[in-house]
A and B are shown apart, each in its own frame.
Chain A
């Protein structure tokens, strides 16, 4: 079945870069998404990438997509303590009716 896998934890120091990785199984998706969830809150769309692109940059965020390996990554430059949150990778299901989420990567930023 469709699946999305992520590493569960990442710890970085303030000012360093963070790289969160994701692998997915359904390669038919038009878009792939990254969501951010702060404690006790809902999910906030952070960024997305069109499947025909290899890279998308949006201020401190860089998304890299390797369609051949079905690998997606999110790089956060100059990571701040406010970036501490859970980051979810999401891939639409084949029917396009729902998002399949990974288990989330907890990013911890220390000063």
Chain B
């Protein structure tokens, strides 16, 4: 089945220790998104890739970076996680011209 896969599903890291979250897709979609969802809040877009073009949201902290080495994979790097970065991180894919997005199961990140 075509799908969006996120690894790991759960990640615990220490304050200040870099962490990388992974997303892969078999849908061959050209757009990939990263959202942050804190407890009881709406998902908040951090950035997205339109093909290889990176689009950062204005209020995304510099601490958050992303890489997309090919169509199928996209990574979220948090350089120096703070306690406030504890959240669910959702990856989604889509196609240009259509707003419909397909979400992965998320990675629950806990920063201690």
Contacts and interface: CB of A to CB of B under 8 A. Distances in A.
Interface in B40-94: 40-43, 45, 48, 50, 55, 57, 90, 92
A30 B99 CA distance: 9
Interface residues of B, number: 23
Interface residues of A, number: 23
Contact of A92 (B50, B99, B102, B104): B99
Contact of A97 (B42, B55, B90, B104): B55
Contacts of A71: none
Contact of B103 (A29, A43, A102): A43
B101 A99 contact: yes
B100 A42 contact: no
A45 B45 contact: no
Contact of A31 (B50, B99, B102): B99
B100 A103 contact: no
B42 A45 contact: no
Contacts, number: 51
A103 B57 CA distance: 19
A48 B99 CA distance: 10
A42 B50 CA distance: 21
23 contacts: A30-B99, A33-B100, A40-B106, A40-B108, A42-B4, A42-B103, A42-B106, A43-B90, A43-B92, A43-B103, A44-B103, A45-B100, A45-B101, A88-B42, A88-B43, A92-B99, A97-B50, A98-B45, A98-B48, A99-B101, A101-B43, A103-B42, A104-B42
Interface of B: 4, 6, 33, 40-43, 45, 48, 50, 55, 57, 90, 92, 99-106, 108
